[in-house]
Structure 1
């Protein structure tokens, strides 16, 4: 992952290290910086073992924080959510490079098909802080609920994710 401050600077965004997260609205006192600290802490302590949860966890957070990621971030993460949540693709660590390759090919022929960041605080009702303090079974259920919540927030862009996702399925999953 790129340095979030550097990526935000490229986009002319000033990160706030106070109050609730300026992008997802998570209940923090330390703003987006604390939101990422929580994300990283949970990722390193609770998510790691199950590949599927690692991917939907990352996708949900990245879609809620578009300003600190690359230009095609939303396309990639929403497409992966489509593949996992809608098409029930068993996601593994060997598959992201294949999806990136498919995305790169799609970008060449559709350079204007960028999925933009949704308005701030309209990227789903749940955030990473809703996972804090949960027991493992509650955690897994809430993680899936959060991923679905974020996925549905981007509903108007599902058609783009479906195109790339179906191209991926046709090439790599048949």
Structure 2
């Protein structure tokens, strides 16, 4: 992953070092930089997790911070949320390259397709700071609420995520 500064610069976005996160609105004092610090620190809680938590955690945060990720970021993360949250796919790291391959095919056949960043502060009510200090079932429950809230906020783009996800399902998850 590229640095958030480099990605923001490519997109002409000025990152703010003070106050709430300028993208998700998380309750920080040092803006998006603190939001990413919290995200990275909390990620260790999911290191040994063999379930979907690691992935929906990354997906929710990436979708709330589109401006500091690549152009097709939203397609990938929304498609993976669709697969995990709607289709109950048991996700693991080995599946990610296959979804990436489907994304590459989709990009070639739909170069005009776009899932843009939603308006600031309209990317789900919960943020990574709502997970800070939580453990066990409380953390798992709050993580799921956060992921579902972010996923729901992109509802108008679900047909694109479903198209990618369904291609993945047909090719790689045949029952």
Same fold (TM over 0.5): yes
> Is 1:32 the equivalent of 2:52?
no
Task: State the partner residue of 2:123.
Answer: 123
Structure 1 position 17, deviation (Å): 1.0
Q: Take 1:23 and 1:38, find their aligned partners in 2: how far apart are those partners?
A: 14
Deviations, residues 91-149 of structure 1 (Å, cap 9, x unaligned): 01100100000000010010011210000000000000000111221001100110000
Q: Secondary structure at the match of 1:114?
A: coil
Deviations, residues 64-87 of structure 1 (Å, cap 9, x unaligned): 000000000000000000000000
Task: State the partner residue of 2:48.
Answer: 49
Q: Take 2:46 and 2:17, find their aligned partners in 1: how far apart are those partners?
A: 25
TM-score (ref. length: structure 2): 0.98
Runs ≥4 residues deviating over 2 A: none
Structure 1 position 49, deviation (Å): 1.4
**5+ residue gaps, structure 2:** none
Structure 1 position 16, deviation (Å): 0.7
Equivalent residues in 2 for 1:1-174, closer than 5 Å? 1-44=1-44, 46-51=45-50, 52-174=52-174
TM-score (ref. length: structure 1): 0.98
Moved more, 15-24 or 131-140: 131-140
Q: Secondary structure at the match of 2:93?
A: coil
**5+ residue gaps, structure 1:** none
Structure 1 position 90, deviation (Å): 0.5
Number of equivalenced pairs: 173
